A = this chain, B = another copy of it.
């Protein structure tokens, strides 16, 4: 009985089509062919004899991928790279590719190309997430909500600021990713131990020409930098750099996701508000924050991938072994799928995000008098109540009110030592948003920062996201 096919669950359930394509077997064949053509073109232009029309013939067949045919060749050659060379040659009708190269010259550079495409896609999705966050934050910039530390009421903040806090963290991650993209260097065409011996031979000992070839290949593939001195492989800490950046990109969304799960539990917010839905409060307690939970899960998965590539640090012997091979086959695509799925899920959460204003207001009504205690004391003293008396009265009634703010105010109003009416006390406590300090200003600043980002990446920012499971 043949082995049953087990699909990659991260690709199939969570990742976008675009990310799945970058790492698909078909696309790998296409990218390899592009690499071969880049090398071949550079070799031709730098004086290596290449048959006329060969470059063009290869270019014409780049996208003609038949994995079955490649598989049949591999069963004969027992060598996967060789099989793909033969297939490509057969399609083009030439035998010009892969000259002066080893398998690693092909696989290392193509994997780096996949990595760069994946990171660029993640960059775009982060931009989209920031754009949506800024929109939601602006909507709710002045929606006061009970701010919490240790998960208990602490001071007033606004829903918009809560969103902006997550966005601020994501902005940091965006800078991190953009820096990474800007400097991410290609290993280049360096041969089996990194000395370029075979290419130096091919170019008759002219190291300068070898260098020039490498620069042209890199430019053709869209890389601005090439590593100078490497062994068989590019430094695996570059993989760490990438996956760590993914995890960093997950953090803002994941922190907001857990907060939405908390708010959903208290009936304050939902991730599942659908356009056309009537009202904002149909059985809020039935709104499971499943997508937010998924964001938590995908974050944990990314942490596992980070552990995998961390294990590659200090694990490279001499000029390089392949003890990293299976690790990278798993961790590089799978972490890309995970962060991509996480950001898609986050976009869905932001699309569906809504607050239940009545529940938020009810919570504030209950908590606000306690959150405003300092303000009350100041007013009492100002009015001439003795400081000790004020303290004693406030403490006594706060205890007696057992967490019920309005009751607390009633008790104060009924206390002759205080001398404020219920209305006066209510006026003193004031409107919640007045206790939110610079929260609206922080939101505005965040929105302005995101504007700069979306101006640089208008197309990415326009992405609204796909449906998620």
Contact = CB atoms under 8 A, between A and B. Distances in A.
Contacts of A321: 149-151, 261, 293
A417 interface: no
B240 A247 contact: yes
Given A327-B300, A403-B359, A240 B251 contact: yes
A301 B323 CA distance: 11
A192, A333, A403: which has the most chain B beta carbons within 10 Å? A403
A348 interface: no
A165, A196, A321, A323: which has the most chain B beta carbons within 10 Å? A323
Given A165-B194, A285-B370, A252 B265 contact: no
B304 A305 contact: yes
Interface string A238-266: 10110010011011111101110110111
A141 to B, nearest CB: 11
Interface string A269-291: 00000000001011111111110
B314 A258 contact: yes
A123 B467 CA distance: 42
A333, A435, A441: which has the most chain B beta carbons within 10 Å? A441
The quantity of this chain's copies bound in the complex is 4
A195 B147 contact: yes
A287 B152 contact: yes
A248 B237 contact: yes
B314 A148 contact: no
A321 to B, nearest CB: 5
Contacts of A24: 4-6
A20 B3 contact: yes
Contacts of A9: 8, 326, 329-330, 333
Interface in A299-335: 299-301, 303-308, 310-327, 329-331, 333-334
A457 B85 CA distance: 47
A35 to B, nearest CB: 20
A250 B293 contact: no
A228, A289, A314, A333: which has the most chain B beta carbons within 10 Å? A314
A437 interface: yes
A168 B227 contact: yes
Interface string A358-369: 110000000100
A107 interface: no
Interface stretch (A44-52, A169-177, A382-390): A169-177
A155 B304 CA distance: 34
A184 to B, nearest CB: 9
Interface stretch (A10-18, A88-96, A422-430): A10-18
A326 B303 contact: no
23 contacts: A3-B12, A3-B17, A5-B7, A6-B24, A8-B8, A9-B330, A147-B195, A148-B317, A151-B262, A151-B264, A155-B192, A156-B193, A195-B439, A207-B441, A229-B442, A254-B314, A255-B313, A258-B316, A282-B402, A283-B398, A293-B321, A297-B324, A304-B330
Given A3-B20, A230-B165, A248-B241, A323 B303 contact: no
A154 interface: yes
A301 B308 contact: yes
A449 interface: yes
A232 B304 CA distance: 25
Interface string A193-208: 1111111110000010
